[in-house]
Structure 1
Amino acid sequence: MASLTAILPKSSIFKIAIDGPAASGKSTTARHVAHRLGFTYIDSGAMYRAITLKALRRNIQFESPSEMPHIINLANTSKIHFATTTPIGGSGNDNTPQTIVYLDDEDVSADIRTMNVSRNVSFVAALPEVRKAMLAKQRRYANSTDIDGVVMDGRDIGTAVLPDAQVKIFLTAITNVRAMRRYEQLKKKEKELVVYEEILRDIEKRDKADLERKVSPLRKAIDAVVLDTTTLSLSEIVGKIIEMTNNMKSDAVQLSGINSSLNESTIQTQI
């Protein structure tokens, strides 16, 4: 199959938007899809976590109105970029692409996944000025990639960040399953004691905040495909998204061929 960039103009890079609530499997799924397709992966949630981490390090009080300008300034001035490691083969974690998150050139991949950051990130993400700053960065990343496409995950990618995405996915799962996934994830990374009930309450709180925030709330795009990951395996989810993407790319190739034939016919008619 011909490269999609040979069919679409450079400004129309193939885009996949994956949205969903906390711990629905967005990041893991998006990383695997991007790796399989050779696309760029952008973790939008990690960007908000990075700003939250920086604010925590500076002892900013999130509930204080006087601190809001400082958080907004961090969002506007901080340098955030990503790098994805290539799987080394085999099974398990060895075969999972890992995303390295850099904040001002420091690897903060582990630091942004702590419970302390998780407890406060919804507050930072709800600030309109912060979302505006992140939106500009996310779109710039998506449109500056020099390969065939981009996969971005978050909570408002298909509705606000990349409304022109050719493939839109909304992942979901029942709350206790999402909490258990996050519990197992944090048990491996956290040095402090991890309590399942606390994680469940945190996810319920984040769901409420994400759904009720005034700017870019969590919601499914009208044209998004819903995948319930409660009982689906990672390979099944990734396979479904790859299939949708390949079908869309195939349709684009066929449409390009039809347009070329029509153009040739028009030229011959004019002659």
Structure 2
Amino acid sequence: MQCLRATLCRRATRHLFASKPLARDFTIAIDGPAASGKSSTARAVALELGFGYIDSGSIYRCATLLALRHDITDISAGAPDLIDLINKASVDIKFQPQSTRSAPNLITGRLPVPDVRILLNDEDVSEEIRKPDVNRLVAKVASDGGVRSAVLGIQRALARAAETRSKSVVGKEGVSSVPGGVVMDGRDIGTTIFPNAELKIYLDASAMARAIRRWDEMNSSLKRAKPPAVPATAENTPAEYPSVEDIARELEERDYADINRQHSPLRIAKDAIVIDNTSMTFEQQVYSIADLARDRMGLERKHDDL
């Protein structure tokens, strides 16, 4: 198990990260709109390559959960109380590569998706940060410049702590030892967090495909928490969970907010490779990204048959 921990304060964040982006052995930045499959894909790519993994979006969700728990709903004023809470918070990301949890039902890939548990101040909030109330507020929280500055420090600190073990690999010139790297997903990883990442991917999908994935994710989380008497369907989903159509509308609103926000808006980096996975299998998108990384590291490709 790999455990990444960041406990930050304003002063330490400014001292460590204000001057320049951190350099990694090999960094893969995966950006894209909400529910485009960034997280599951990034985890599987990290597993495939033996890299560390940082769930960037979960940090904003933790910030949103802090806002909800402290009744902070007015983010327009800069939310100094929320920023103070973020700076004092500890965030743990526990990446479990040996997990055999299946991929979301919408995508038919057979690859295991490593499990990731998110701890906020030592409390496992992995399910709570995916609930509808967090979904509805996270875009507003993430659009605040002060919040983004605080989270930026956490993101880079977690990447700094990511494990990058050397390993023996078969390259174009025989067997050699190469350092590891880190995979991070989000909305501004390739444009703001790691603008010098060795590989930048922009993962996209249609709004309806993303809505179905999000609906499936919500119901999978519900079943893990409390198995229902009958399988969940669109007709018997609990009232607190919205319909696929409602989710699609929420995602379109989130897209608009992410693209038009003042600070670090959602953009396709100039040197990013765009992958539309609406009609791709999970395996295809994971293996294609992994082989793109191998190409840039000078290693042998493994999945030219796809």
TM range, normalised to the smaller chain?
0.7 to 0.9
SS of residue paired to 1:95? coil
2:118 is aligned, of 101, 105, 114, to 101
> 1:78 is matched with which residue?
89
C-alpha distance in structure 2 between counterparts of 1:33 and 1:136, whole Å: 24
Provide Cα deviations, 1:32-60, integer angstroms capped at 9, x if missing partner.
00111111100110000001011111222
| 1:134–1:92 Cα change, 3 Å | closer
* Native 8 Å contact 2:101 2:115 kept in 1: no
C-alpha distance in structure 2 between counterparts of 1:90 and 1:20, whole Å: 23
Deviation, 1:63, is 5.3
Q: Which has the larger radius of gyration?
A: 1
Provide Cα deviations, 1:114-145, integer angstroms capped at 9, x if missing partner.
01100000111011011111112212222333
How many percent identity over aligned positions? 43
Higher helix share goes to which structure? Answer: 1
2:295 is aligned, of 228, 247, 251, to 247
> 1:22 is matched with which residue?
34
* Native 8 Å contact 2:75 2:144 kept in 1: no
* Native 8 Å contact 1:186 1:194 kept in 2: no
| 1:206–1:95 Cα change, 3 Å | same
How do residues 74-153 of structure 1 correspond to structure 2 at under 5 angstroms?
74-89=85-100, 95-147=112-164, 148-153=180-185
C-alpha distance in structure 2 between counterparts of 1:109 and 1:178, whole Å: 20
1:45 paired to 2:57: yes
C-alpha distance in structure 2 between counterparts of 1:58 and 1:129, whole Å: 17
* Letter in structure 2 aligned against 1:52: T
SS of residue paired to 1:168? strand
* Native 8 Å contact 2:32 2:186 kept in 1: yes
* Letter in structure 2 aligned against 1:84: F
C-alpha distance in structure 1 between counterparts of 2:205 and 2:99, whole Å: 30
How do residues 144-183 of structure 1 correspond to structure 2 at under 5 angstroms?
144-147=161-164, 148-183=180-215
Deviation, 1:90, is 8.8
Listed as ranges, the gaps of 5+ residues in structure 2 are 1-21, 105-110, 165-179, 223-237, 300-306
C-alpha distance in structure 1 between counterparts of 2:102 and 2:243, whole Å: 28
Deviation, 1:230, is 0.5
Listed as ranges, the gaps of 5+ residues in structure 1 are 1-9, 252-271
Deviation, 1:68, is 1.2
Provide Cα deviations, 1:43-101, integer angstroms capped at 9, x if missing partner.
11000000101111122223563x81111112222111201123355966793211111
RMSD, aligned CA: 2.0
| 1:77–1:91 Cα change, 3 Å | closer
Instruction: Give TM-score, length-normalised by structure 1.
Output: 0.83
* Native 8 Å contact 2:91 2:121 kept in 1: yes
